[in-house]
Amino acid sequence: MSTGRDIWAVVPVKEIEGAKQRLAEFLSPDQRRTLAATMLRDVLRALVQVRELAGIAVVTLDPHASELAAKLGARIITEGARDGHTGAVTAAGRVLLRERRDGMLTVPGDIPRIAASEVRAVLAAHRPGPSFTIAPAHDEKGSNAVLLSPPNSVPLRFGEDSFFPHLDAARRAGIEPSIVPVPGIGMDIDHPVDLAAFLRMTPRIETETLIFLEESGLSAVILAAFPPAL
């Protein structure tokens, strides 16, 4: 797959059953499960198109996520899979470090508008190691893509407000971070209002997630509940 540096993409996935609880006001358990699986497919299919990556690893114990990862040629890592987002990414970094990989690009499984061109933009901005490149969430609170060379160059701690703390952590490690804001990677879906923002993004890109929301009738419900700001 790789045409250059030995950089692996890492996608942590907790159990799809019971995922996305913060969407429970508008989505049933079955709909939330389908949404989580569909978003993950969109993310992995975008990553598979990026030939500059040496490989893709999914950190999970979930059977559905493991099956999907295997079908798309991704590696499955189980170490740290139940240790939360930060623990899963950190464990994958340890695995890649033991294997002497050059770097790790971690993205979540809930950014269905991610495009291969955006991933390439993050890779292109990444300097020789030790280095740290980050693509923030649309609200500049979350850290939606983080690229580290080597994989343990900066301690990571994900959460609702991790973007600026990650910049500070990189600088404490003696690395000036590269910041690459890109709209698809930036659009993570955690809350109902995020779904509305996703549905209104232009230009229209027919991801599987968008098609699911429209065909299920959820898009009309979400858009009516969150009208555009005047």
For residue 101, the model assigns a pLDDT of 97
Contact status, residue 133 vs residue 181, Cβ threshold 8 Å:
no
Decide: residue 142, CB within 10 A, 0-12 exposed, 13-18 middle, 19+ buried: buried
Place of tokens 């996305």: 20
Contact criterion met (CB below 8 Å) for 134 and 143 = yes
Helix axes 218-225, 208-215, angle to 10 degrees: 90
How far is CA 50 from its chain centroid?
14
> For domain 7-186, which architecture applies?
Alpha-Beta Complex (3.90)
Q: Write the burial class of residue 128 (CB in 10 Å: 0-12 exposed, 13-18 middle, 19+ buried).
A: exposed
- The tens place of each residue's pLDDT in the chain, 230 residues long, gives 433 489 999 999 999 988 999 999 999 999 999 999 999 999 999 999 999 999 999 999 999 999 999 999 999 999 999 999 999 999 999 999 999 999 999 999 999 999 999 999 999 999 999 999 999 999 999 999 999 999 999 999 998 899 999 999 999 999 999 999 999 999 999 999 999 999 999 999 999 999 999 999 999 999 999 998 75
Nearest to 186 by CA among 222, 221, 153, 140: 140
Domain extents in the chain: 7-186
Structure tokens at 216: 């299920």
DSSP state of 19: -
| 36 phi-psi bin (left φ>0, alpha ψ -120 to 50, beta other) | alpha
Tell me the Ramachandran region of residue 121: left when phi exceeds 0, alpha when psi lies from -120 to 50, beta otherwise.
alpha
What was the pLDDT predicted at 162? 97
- Quick check: 183 and 197 in contact, CB under 8 A? no
Please state, in angstroms and as integers, the Cα–Cα distance from residue 91 to each residue in 66, 83, 151, following that order.
17, 9, 10
Residue 124's contacts (CB-CB under 8 Å, 6 or more residues apart) are none
pLDDT of residue 22: 95
pLDDT for 3: 38
> Is residue 137 a contact partner of residue 188, using CB atoms and an 8 Å limit?
yes
Dihedral sign of CA atoms 113, 117, 123, 124 in order: negative
